[in-house]
């Protein structure tokens, strides 16, 4: 596999931003290390578009908002919290990338795009909220909150959490702007946290969270990326993961991956959305490839060997 001179969308997992230290300094230091790997794709001559998650960050922000909530200082709604974390993570990552590019002798600008992702207000997800956000509450606290119209579900015996809809993305409002920047040799950071969920021509924000991998796949389609890379905590996708007969997948077709998916090999909320996003990209772009691998493997992609799990039509 040789990834050189191509338009590449890279979707960063949360582990590339937040490790054990949730402070601003801790996350900035994590992103400095992340940037060292991402810059290797630029060194290989690729046009780079970065997306990222924000699950831990938006959860922490919701806690802060709730703790300070008052009549004079009301908590911000979820769509605004997504926008706020897009800005903070984009700021940190943009600086880290700019500094690392300069160290590598590469003269490129980096820009973060506040990204609004359009969803269908009639998406079935709005009738079945499933994405947990915010703090754990007792049953009594949750019942009190539910009186105001929020939905709470018990989460694995650890308490009750607010759940919100997770609709599928249908368009990205800033896609043309992102493409224009890339065509002018600017490294772009966009679709942070799956993007700000909006509906209608007026781009009205809505209480929801869009899966980062699905939003990144939609972005890869719209900017006509040559390669879509989804980063996770392991080098490859496995079937029978953690068992004696586990098997590493290196090159796999959509048909094979669909079979493994139907057999229940991929956990919902973990590997499954990555698998579904990779399948979607390969189906929509039959002559291109999606790759699921770790951050540490990025530097090997300008070599001839297979890196990670490569998914093709």
Q: Which of 212, 218, 285, 308 is catalytic?
A: 212
Is residue 215 within 8 Å of residue 51, measured between CB atoms?
yes
Calculate Rg over the CA atoms of the chain.
19
Whether 313 is catalytic is no
Q: Which of 53, 179, 194, 274 is catalytic?
A: 274
Contact residues for 163 (Cβ-Cβ < 8 A; gap 6+)? 129, 130, 131, 132, 133, 151, 152, 153
Q: Which of 7, 15, 159, 313 is catalytic?
A: 15
Is residue 247 within 8 Å of residue 260, measured between CB atoms?
no
3-state secondary structure of 114: coil
Composition of the chain by helix, strand, coil, percent to 5? 40, 25, 35
Whether 87 is catalytic is no
Whether 108 is catalytic is no
Whether 7 is catalytic is no
Q: Which of 13, 46, 131, 288 is catalytic?
A: 131
3-state secondary structure of 4: coil
Q: How many CB atoms lie within 10 A of CB 233?
A: 12
Whole-angstrom distance, CA of residue 119 vs CA of residue 117:
7
State the DSSP H helix or E strand holding residue 38, giving kind and residue range, or none if neither.
helix 24-43
**What's the N-to-C CA distance of the chain in angstroms?**
16
Is residue 18 within 8 Å of residue 27, measured between CB atoms?
yes
Whether 72 is catalytic is no
Q: Which residues are catalytic?
A: 14-15, 131, 212, 274
């Amino acid at each position: 596999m040789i990834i050189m001179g191509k338009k590449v969308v890279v979707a960063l997992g949360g582990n590339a931003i937040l490790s054990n230290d949730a402070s601003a300094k801790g996350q900035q230091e994590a992103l400095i290390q992340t940037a060292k790997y991402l810059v290797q794709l630029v060194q290989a001559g690729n046009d780079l578009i970065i997306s990222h998650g924000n699950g831990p960050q938006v959860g922490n922000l919701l806690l802060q908002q709730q703790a300070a909530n008052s009549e004079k200082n009301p908590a911000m709604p979820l769509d605004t919290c997504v926008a706020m974390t897009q800005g903070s993570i984009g700021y940190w990552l943009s600086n880290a990338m700019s500094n690392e590019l300069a160290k590598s002798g590469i003269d490129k600008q980096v820009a973060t795009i506040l990204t609004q992702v359009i969803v269908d207000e009639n998406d079935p997800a709005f009738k079945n909220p499933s994405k947990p956000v915010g703090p754990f509450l007792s049953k009594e606290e949750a019942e009190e909150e539910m009186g105001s119209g929020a939905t709470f579900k018990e989460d694995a015996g650890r308490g009750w959490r607010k759940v919100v809809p997770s609709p599928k993305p249908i368009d990205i409002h800033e896609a043309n702007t992102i493409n224009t920047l890339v065509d002018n040799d600017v490294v772009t950071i966009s679709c942070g946290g799956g993007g700000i969920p909006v509906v209608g021509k007026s781009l009205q924000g809505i209480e929801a969270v869009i899966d980062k991998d699905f939003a990144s796949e939609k972005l890869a389609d719209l900017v006509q990326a040559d390669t879509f890379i989804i980063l996770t905590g392991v080098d490859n996708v496995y079937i029978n993961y953690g068992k004696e007969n586990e098997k590493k997948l290196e090159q796999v077709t959509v048909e094979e991956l669909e079979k493994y998916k139907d057999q229940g090999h991929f956990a919902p909320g973990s590997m499954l959305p990555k698998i579904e996003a990779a399948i979607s990209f390969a189906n929509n772009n039959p002559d291109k490839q999606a790759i699921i691998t770790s951050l540490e493997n990025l530097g090997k992609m300008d070599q001839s060997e297979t890196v990670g799990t490569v998914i093709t039509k």
